[in-house]
Structure 1
């Protein structure tokens, strides 16, 4: 049992090191030697768990997907209105991108198109699926205009978020991502939410951005 526990801990260490290196350098510029060095393990220990860099990338992507799903499940338990859930999801993802190398690495691997085709669309999968369902609910709750297509709107929001994340990381990384996400919603809300509810959601966005800026 102790040997099995050590093996599992080593595997977790290797995945964490791979995520950190993929996030920092990208898949192409990272070698297995880089990952072994970062994790403080031997090449033999790495090859015992993973036969190739591609296998490691798949493992990182799987862990990123698991973290995303667990984060969404925790949010859904709170049973916020549909549109509020979608707004909070984007701030939750922004926070994860700030603190979780696995999340950043999983998304970078997806954007670099290095994952197998069957895995390449999973990084945003849970956000797209839940977002579409919650936006459909928001239409029924009269918080979203009835002319809005929930699936198309979910794809647009996720795409806008991805663009905001990439541009902010490349040009103004000193500005917290949640603040940029708030700017995104300031643009989206007036065209998506009826006037009688837009004030509430604009205030919510400001509140969530302020919470993200507050010291831990």
Structure 2
């Protein structure tokens, strides 16, 4: 049992160290020696858990995907209105990107996955599926126009979110990502919500962001 516990700790240290290096240098410029140095483990220990750099990168992506997917699953299972849930999902994943090195590295590696032997598309597809659920829920609730084509809108929303977070990372290390997402929603909502509800719903992203910040500030 003690040996198994040490293995779990070592694997976690490798994931954490690799995430820090991959996030800083990218997949192509990172060596396993860099990872060992950052994680404080030997190459033998690293190879015991991961037989290649790609296997290690995929493990980080899987960890990131599980952390981010949990947000979508919880919101899908909740009673939150569809439009609200969709906005909350983007803001909460943005928090992860800004504050969790594994999530940040996993997203960067997903973008750089052209270097891998096979593509990595599950994170994007799962986010799109969650967005489809929220859009359909919003249509039933009257917050999303009935003429909105759900699959196309979900694809565009996740593509837009991806672009916003990448540019925010490049320009400010994601310090401004929440504000940029509020701006993104202000641009998108006129094409999604009924005209007679636009005035009220246009302020929804900022209200949700302010409410979340206030809640976080209480803890």
**TM norm. shorter chain > 0.5:** yes
**1:53 alignment counterpart:** 53
Counterparts in 2 of 1:22-61, with a 5 A limit? 22-61=22-61
Question: Does structure 2 retain, via aligned residues, the 8 Å contact 1:132–1:154?
Answer: yes
- Figure out how many residues of one structure are paired with residues of the other and give that number: 215
In the alignment, does 2:119 pair up with 1:114? no
SS in 1 for 2:122: coil
Counterparts in 2 of 1:176-195, with a 5 A limit? 176-195=176-195
**Unpaired segments of 5 or more residues in structure 1?**
none
**1:155 alignment counterpart:** 155
Q: What per-residue deviation string (whole Å, max 9, x for no partner) do you get for residues 8-57 of structure 1?
A: 11111101111111111100000001111111111111111111101101
Deviates more, 1:106-115 or 1:9-18: 106-115
Distance 1:143 1:211, change over 3 A: closer
TM-score, normalised to structure 1's length? Answer: 0.92
**1:200 alignment counterpart:** 200
**1:170 alignment counterpart:** 170
Cα shift at 1:129: 0.8
Q: What per-residue deviation string (whole Å, max 9, x for no partner) do you get for residues 44-87 of structure 1?
A: 11111111101101111111111112222233343111111111
CA distance in 1: counterparts of 2:205 and 2:28, whole angstroms = 37
TM-score, normalised to structure 2's length? Answer: 0.90
CA distance in 1: counterparts of 2:175 and 2:63, whole angstroms = 27
Could you list the structure 1 runs, at least 4 aligned residues long, displaced by more than 4 angstroms after superposition: 211-216
